[in-house]
Amino acid sequence: MIKQFRSKTVFAVALMAIATPAAYAQVASTIEQAELAGLSAEKRAEVQARAVKGNTVTEVLTTMLLNGIKLKHPASRIVAMDFGRGIAVVQLADGKMTAVNFDPHTLVIKS
């Protein structure tokens, strides 16, 4: 009896997860809420508009920053980021690492 109840419960939870539309925005984590709070109103709205269909705030911010960094440095990926200080450590195309400063309110690359 208990096994049958558990099976039905697991099935119901799985069905609810599948039936939930993917278009819903994900709830921002505490860190993501802090990152959003530090952005300008315009940039915050842009990030929130893009943080849908499974994209997290962190993923959107990372993508936006990397796109900006690539305009000045041939970076291939962001290795570490400190939003509070406005600095990202990026791996360059040749494999070397470098620090890149950015404005944490507008995401504009400084260096």
Quick one: pLDDT band at residue 43, thresholds 50, 70, 90? very high
Q: 16 to each of 2, 13, 19, 89, how far by Cα in Å?
A: 21, 5, 5, 40
pTM, two decimals, is 0.67
Instruction: Confirm whether 108 is domain-assigned.
Output: no
Domain total in the chain? 1
Q: Looking at residue 5, what is its pLDDT? A: 42
> What is the extent of the structural domain holding 58?
2-101
Instruction: Confirm whether 26 is domain-assigned.
Output: yes
Mean pLDDT calculated for residue range 23-47? 81
φ, ψ (nearest 5 deg) of residue 88: -130, 140
Instruction: Confirm whether 106 is domain-assigned.
Output: no
Instruction: Confirm whether 8 is domain-assigned.
Output: yes
Taking 50 as the threshold, does the pLDDT of residue 14 lie above it?
no
Instruction: Confirm whether 63 is domain-assigned.
Output: yes
